[in-house]
Structure 1
């Protein structure tokens, strides 16, 4: 089922309002022995700056949400954000519809630019699918690690495993371009995308996003995702389809307690639904994997759902490695191999190359926190570019790239809505 192309008017918090914040240093006159006072002023300035920054990012995210609602319309190529410049860029193949111009005219405190794209999102999705499917058949699942749009949406970047048979084949660039039907730039990488399946360990009804899913012997191997409500009004828990044996499988939490059964699967999205024993919670676990209720990020209520855009902030939360924030979406509509199929989603990483996901986090929630609420953006599917782990609930592998399936795609497939 395709994404909805209904235009949603942005509800934008004016950046100018946030910019009126005046630091406490300007309000407090200097006094004798003012070192403590100066320290307080510095703290107040930092607080004001953080509040202003948060307001700017929220305004940009709201505008981007309105722009990404156009996904699926003919010609749509993508959306990218720049928080520092308070800017949203909408890329379009051909003439952009009136809705894009209306967004540019009505967004308060956020600049909306429209850029011409050579190829649309639909063009590049079809091309990346052809590329991965052909190379998987010719050289195996590890040949092409990932494929995503070039800057300007003129073609694809194909990441090829350095040690793969594909990398050793003659005329690789030309072969990939012929398979894709669009220009292809090849980049060699050292490792491939790995599914991240292998406290949050002992959740209970109502079940929360970010809790542990276990095998029959109680070994952690996956994470619960967001709760959704189907068209029939039934509550279900999302997780990754590669996490268990299939339809009807019994699912248990990290302590071995029965959670429910798998009621539906969408292998093209590598997603499945769990019919829970009991009910579900409208919240997500944050903080470290072993966070307690005293942790400020222990749990967040769900605020809604948003489609990711390039440049946006994002958090991932897994039962094994915990919550990882500070990452940004680097590419949307990335193609990679999941099982025997080609999956499409997005990829995110931190500027410092730090860990964003690990084994056992598959199926977990990806989101952004705005005004204390978590807005669902995706489901963790895999990771690449290995890194040393910090504290984890079990011994595992960790990665600096996280791959996510957009929640809007999952909701659209099951004609469902987020439980918020």
Structure 2
């Protein structure tokens, strides 16, 4: 692993620090998206539940929106809203697919309130304690404040009145959680030797072929140009040459958005609307060698996602634990979602940064995000290069990346 944004190698104790998400489910597999959900006197497909979730998350820009959570076991979607819900929200309850229940619940704060509060908190604490003390700030399960995770061994943890100071800076109630961690990092690696048209999940490497990052989804800009998404921390800056796993020129960095830790790569040649899947060393003989990209979906708590990086390969079955999580990405605060497996298994590793995150629906990838980092260190198993692996993955939502550049997914 070269430079990799591992979002803090938060140790096993961090599993206790994740707030109980409304609508969280038990152990599951990505195939749950194609399975049937058993409820009294009826059978509801998870695809029907996802349609209700998609309609709810589409309202994320509306004033008052706080968040969406899903429970596939009961086919229930919970929409949290600050203030009186407008007609668009109320309509979700009456227009949901048959058998799917949509509940709108009131909250004290909106997603915008908590987004601004977590940004203030992370920016202030990074200036005082550096990037490795306050590891993450995420909405409480009831959206009444923030859950702030602080490294137990940091100087910040020994600060008198820390919780009170954090509340003062954030301007919202804060629940302080100490976690065992050695600091925030990034997950800054055929996938190894792709060529045009370039696919998501391929290796980005140095001239000598040493993997250090991964390619993300292909997008079409407002001007109609094809670009490849990856993590901004992977390359030195605008105009940097980007190479594949064989050290061959892939393209150059054409644009960067540091607040999203994202960049666009102008490719040498065309791009493909598909992602590498399966093991990191899967061959064309594998049924999951590549899968097509269908659409974009905003993440919701409780949904299952896959991550696919060039170094560790594809990992499916991770459940989204929280959305609008704040963490330090370099000298800035990034916001996105955090996902982890119920069994604590590996979901990401160093060198996977920039790679795609997606939901599997009918064998196709629905783009959810870009891999930015991981935490909660685990043994890796087989990887393309020696690296560190983690059981939590942090993603920048694709809806945010596309909105920033006025782009659309290449499908």
TM-score normalised per structure 2: 0.89
Distance, in Å, in 2 between the alignment partners of 1:51 and 1:214 is 38
On the 8 A contact 1:214/1:254 being kept in 2, the answer is yes
Task: Quote the residue 2:169 is aligned against.
Answer: 179
**CA-to-aligned-CA distance 1:221-280 (integer Å, 9 cap, x gap):** 000000000000000000000001010000000000100000000000000000000000
User: Is the 8 Å Cα contact of residues 188 and 352 (structure 2) preserved in structure 1?
Assistant: yes
Alpha-carbon separation, structure 2, partners of 1:330 and 1:200: 29
Distance in 2 (CA, whole Å) between partners of 1:308 and 1:137 is 30
1:251 maps to which of 230, 242, 245: 242
Choose 154-163 or 214-223, whichever is displaced more: 214-223
Q: Shift of the alpha carbon at 1:48? A: 12
2:355 corresponds to: 364
* Alignment equivalent of 1:135, drawn from 125, 146, 152: 125
Q: Any idea what SS the aligned residue of 1:103 has?
A: helix
Residue deviations 1:384-406 (CA, integer Å, cap 9, x gap): 11111011000000011100000
Q: Among residues 315, 338, 343, which one is paired with 1:352 in the alignment?
A: 343
Structure 1 segment 375-386 matched on structure 2, within 5 A: 375-386=366-377
- The count of corresponding residues between Structure 1 and Structure 2 is 374
Q: 1:329 aligns with which of 320, 337, 342?
A: 320
Provide the TM-score with structure 1 as the length reference.
0.87
The one-character-per-residue Cα deviations of 1:296-330 (angstroms, maximum 9, x if unpaired) are: 22111111000000000100000000001110000
Spell out structure 1 runs of 4+ moving beyond 4 A: 47-50
Q: CA RMSD in A?
A: 1.6
1:49 Cα deviation after fit: 12
Work out whether 1:76 is the aligned partner of 2:65.
yes
Work out the CA distance in 1 between the residues paired with 2:201 and 2:274.
Answer: 9
Give the alignment partner of residue 202 of structure 2, picking from 201, 211, 221: 211
Offset from partner CA, 1:62-117 (integer Å, 9 cap, x none): 21111101001100000000000111110000011111111210111211000101
Distance 1:207 1:110, change over 3 A: same
Cα offset, 1:199, TM superposition: 3.0
- 2:157 aligns to what SS in structure 1? helix
Query: Whose radius of gyration is greater, 1 or 2?
Result: 1
Larger helix fraction of residues: 1
In 2, the alpha carbon distance for the partners of 1:136 and 1:419 equals: 36
Unaligned runs of 5+ residues in structure 1 are 1-46
Judge conservation of contact 2:304–2:320 (CA < 8 Å) in 1: yes
Shift of 1:143: 1.3
Aligned match of 2:4:
none
Q: In the TM superposition, what is the alpha-carbon distance from 1:216 to its structure 2 partner?
A: 2.4
Q: Which residue of 1 aligns with 2:150?
A: 160
> Where do 5+ consecutive residues of structure 2 fail to align?
1-30, 38-42
Matches of 2:321 and 2:178, distance apart in 1: 18
State the partner residue of 1:404.
Answer: 395
CA contact (8 A) 2:346 2:389 kept: yes
Instruction: Give the conservation status (yes or no) of the 8 Å contact 1:104–1:113.
Output: yes
Secondary structure of the structure 2 residue equivalent to 1:352: coil
Q: Which residue of 2 aligns with 1:52?
A: 36
Q: RCO higher in 1 or 2 (8 Å CA, sep ≥ 6)?
A: 2
CA contact (8 A) 2:188 2:350 kept: yes
The one of 136, 139, 144 equivalent to 1:149 is 139
